[in-house]
Amino acid sequence: MQPDQSIGTDNPFPMHPEYLQAMFQQAPIPIMVFNLDGRVIHANQACLQLFTCQSIWDLEKTAAFKKLIKDIEWEFIKGYSFTYVYELWPLSNPRRHSYYQCSWSSLRDQNRQVFAVVLYMSNVSEDIRLREQVKQRLERIQLLLDTIPYPVYYRNPQGVYEICNQALADWFGLYKSELQKTPLEELIPSYIIKANYRFLAESKNQPGDSEQFYEGQFMNGRGELREVMLSRTYITEDIDGSSGVAGILIDKTDQKKIEREVLHMDRLKVAGEIAASVAHEIRNPITAVYGFAQILRNFNDLKEHHQYLDWMLEELDRVNSCISEFLLLSVNSMLDLQAGNINTIIRDMALLIVNQSLEYNANVYFDLDPNLPEIQLNNKEIRQLIWHLVKNGLEALHDSGRIIIRTRYEAGKVILEVEDNGHGIPEEMLFKVGTPFFTTREGGSGLGLAISHSIALRHNAVIKINSKAGKTSVQVYFKSCNRA
């Protein structure tokens, strides 16, 4: 190696060859110099120690050295510099392998002609092990995040969810790898983006502000609106002040549904207690009036008034019937349940239902599963349930329409469904349906579906209502008896 000719003679520390040789030999990292034929012409002490050799001739014979230069293209090296990481098992410690960053570069003379190639080897084992440890810890954190049932994420300033869990990917119906590389707006349809503007909106606050909470309806990747709570906070990431956002999205749809059902049951219970108390108070004097009217009818001298007494008795029967129906609101009523088939009850009521539909100029269709299993039921109350559901559907129709009564068996449940093509129930009122005295029709009592819910509860059944413009479906899910 030639000394640098550009250094002046007045330099107090001239780079004489012996200085360069000393620096070369005492360098803390392994260095090798190759001629243009790929033969080692110089190797410093650190290099010989690494390969546990005494000389460059021993060095070239080692398996580690041969592996190091095996795939080197010398013609390529002469014109370029490049770096790669080489894995080495030193003979001094064969159980512990090390990683060395190998940097190749050409040595040129004053005419810019390449006369040798030098290799610098830096031990980067600790860096690689630290990176591996970081990688393993990140993998553990990712596994931990994936156990959380709610979407958790960190969204960087570029809009990419570089940290997210499987629940977020499932929410949008995507792969985590997609979310972690591409902005969400490029992966999902525009109508979902519009529905989730609060979730996707950039912060208008300064980074470091307190957490923000939102409650409302967000749309998932299947187009379903879910009731959620969003909690997020903003984190400064870049020097320019741009911020990312970390957050968690909690789906409270099922919880809200349970809360509404509990509230509904509480209302039914209160209404039932009031109904039972009032009904008994009214029934006692009515029974007395009914008895005296029957006695008076037996008097011959009142024969000319028998017509009025008959009317009185008929009206008292109607009042008594209304009271009996009112008592159905009582959730705690005791029932005599026996195995029976809903189809049998529907067939027995078919003529009555068809005759009632004629008053509404409506058509009634029956779609009954011939293989429907039996359930534990009270015949009288199930008749009341079917009648209320059908009557409610008929009253929802326009000048003419149709009612479909279906039964089917799915996943261990016997399902009774009554569908109409009426005006439907507004979405904002749907959760109130079944509350005692709540009605969407003028002149309605608001007791039909409330009584239906009470009957369903006493049969350990669940009522589900789906409604939109032009179609309302009320489904009652019963537990079936074990099939033989």
> In 3D, which of 106, 105, 108, 89 has the Cα closest to residue 97?
89
Q: How many residues would you count in the chain?
A: 484
Alpha-carbon dihedral angle through residues 41, 46, 51, 53, given to the nearest 10 degrees: 70
Task: Tell me what pLDDT residue 366 has.
Answer: 94
Displacement of CA 212 from its chain's centroid (Å): 20
CB contact set of 98 (below 8 Å; sequence gap of 6+): 87, 88, 89, 90, 123, 125
Task: Tell me what pLDDT residue 365 has.
Answer: 93
CB 59 within 8 A of CB 51: yes
**Tens of pLDDT along 297-354?**
777 777 777 777 788 887 777 777 666 666 665 555 566 788 999 999 999 989 888 8
Alpha-carbon dihedral angle through residues 342, 343, 347, 349, given to the nearest 10 degrees: 20
Task: Tell me what pLDDT residue 5 has.
Answer: 36
Task: Tell me what pLDDT residue 240 has.
Answer: 67
Q: How many CB atoms lie within 10 A of CB 57?
A: 9
DSSP structural state of residue 82: E
Task: Tell me what pLDDT residue 446 has.
Answer: 54
Using N-to-C axis directions, what is the helix angle for 253-297 and 306-326, rounded to 10°?
A: 160
CA–CA separation, 52 vs 48, rounded Å?
A: 6
Residue 349: phi, psi to the nearest 5?
A: -95, -5
Which domains are present in the chain? 17-123 (3.30.450.20), 139-251 (3.30.450.20), 256-329 (1.10.287), 338-479 (3.30.565.10)
Which segments in the chain show pLDDT lower than 70? 1-16, 79, 89-96, 198-199, 201-211, 237-241, 261-281, 283-284, 321-335, 425-448, 482-484
> In 3D, which of 372, 387, 370, 366 has the Cα closest to residue 339?
372
> In 3D, which of 255, 256, 198 has the Cα closest to residue 232?
198
- Reduce the DSSP state of residue 40 to 3 states and report it: strand
> In 3D, which of 245, 257, 305 has the Cα closest to residue 430?
257
